[in-house]
A and B are shown apart, each in its own frame.
Chain A
């Protein structure tokens, strides 16, 4: 069953074609990696999916509903949300309040608090629930972002570099969590620079380059695709990614 269907999404910023005719569809319960060199359009693409940026053309269907041109809160209500690459927490609120606020999408305050504590448990941050979010370390803040996104009860979750700056142990925890979320029925799109992590957890990988979808296949296929190797390493490279 297709949960997310993207058809011909394009977006131009002045002279820059940030996204160019991006087309793919994702069946429910897949973990899809989105990779590409810096400036390839990954974050722009996530912002377009969740409604922060309007595409110039193209169609996006989330679980059978068209969401192009919908505001982000509508998209979140329909079941898709994202985390922010540079972390966009409510810095002067407590960790719990950050996550609780997301729970208000579907619950009253009391129920949202329970949900929020459960989400903080999942990312292992229950012990800092009452700290101010702005006082946490960067890796912790990224996990609060994840918990907050989770607390909206998404069908599709877009994770923009949640593993940045994590140590290997923490990274393993997040990878395990992502797999658990998939087993819970959540579909995940993951932008990440750690190739080893991406290769390990993704069922499938999309490669973006200059806003264009360059490759789409299993981790093994993509890693051996000469076009992808060229985009990453330049023409002369012959070897392993």
Chain B
């Protein structure tokens, strides 16, 4: 009951925030991107948290999503709403192609292999000029504003779409985590041989998880393209600012929990922006340095993520309740 009240309050606050921000201002953009990155970290959390496989290649799905819908819009005038589903299909297919050879890898090896796949996707996008426009990038063409065309005069509607996307991805994550698939994923994570012996098709479960994560990430790539308006292979398929950042958000927030990626995104994305805002006029790289120091301090203070702050608080409150 308390949990539901908390969820409703948080959603209401999130809905109210865009109303007080400048409808097309800088902080509206930060808020929208924060929601999108929270949703992406949540999609990553399926593999990184539930299956405990550290993927550093999610930019592949993200870039595929951004490019698919934008190319469909440019070449055939197809609304990004529909392009989003084509993006999801291709993202899922890419996830399958990557998961089949990497699935058996553990730990660092899986991380490196997925990182390599992400980089391969970036290189392909750079050289396949006839399809992607190459290093010059793509601009989302201007379409008369309407909801059906996924085109708006202000950023405000994008913020709400991102919020809805975050809610949907979080619900999917929770349903999987609590359902039969969640039990199977935990079993595989803790002892793959035992999981097989008691009847879990470990290959199938891992592939399913990778595909769901790939589909969701690609669809979020489409949403990003609509917000960004312009992107090139090095941004949409970026190892540092997409793959690693998404993993970092989930890890700083707390992997394997639904709250973790949301906390992580609302910590990392605004702070990174704030650091850039405050220090970019100073020495070159100062803002990145300070941001890095903050991350190190947080990870030393809360190795299992910011989500543990709430766990500790709850334990303390319950402890006090028991004493009185």
User: Chain A interface (Cβ within 8 Å of chain B)?
Assistant: 50-52, 71-73, 76-77, 81-82, 84, 88-93, 97, 100-102, 104-105, 108-109, 112, 148-149, 151-152
Contact = CB atoms under 8 A, between A and B. Distances in A.
Given A92-B186, A105-B200, A109-B179, 14 more contacts: A73-B199, A76-B197, A84-B193, A84-B197, A90-B195, A92-B190, A97-B186, A104-B180, A104-B199, A104-B200, A105-B198, A109-B183, A112-B180, A151-B198
Contacts of A112: 180
Given A101-B183, A104-B183, A104-B184, A77 B199 contact: yes
Contact of A52 (B184, B191, B193, B200): B193
A73 B194 contact: no
Given A88-B191, A89-B191, A108 B199 contact: no
Given A88-B191, A90-B190, A76 B198 contact: yes
Contacts of A91: 190-191
Nearest to B186: A93
Contacts of B186: 90, 92-93, 97, 101
A89 B197 CA distance: 12
Given A50-B197, A52-B196, A109-B179, A73 B190 contact: no
Interface in B136-193: 179-180, 183-184, 186-187, 190-191, 193
Contact of A105 (B179, B190, B194, B199): B199
Contact of A93 (B190, B199, B202): B190
A73 B202 contact: yes
Contacts of B179: 109
Contact of B201 (A50, A71, A81): A71
Contacts of B193: 52, 72, 84, 88
Contact of A82 (B197, B200, B202, B203): B197
A102 B199 CA distance: 7
6 contacts: A90-B190, A90-B191, A93-B187, A97-B183, A104-B180, A149-B198
Contact of A71 (B180, B187, B190, B196): B196
Interface string B47-63: 00000000000000000
B122 to A, nearest CB: 36
B176 to A, nearest CB: 12
A50 B203 CA distance: 17
Nearest to A76: B199
Q: Which of A92, A104, A108 has the most CB of B within 10 A?
A: A104
B189 to A, nearest CB: 8
Interface in B8-36: none
A148 B179 CA distance: 18
Contacts of B200: 73, 101, 104-105
Nearest to A80: B197
Contacts of A76: 196-199
Nearest to B183: A101
A101 B198 contact: yes
Contacts of B198: 76, 81, 101-102, 105, 148-149, 151-152
B49 to A, nearest CB: 13
A163 B109 CA distance: 38
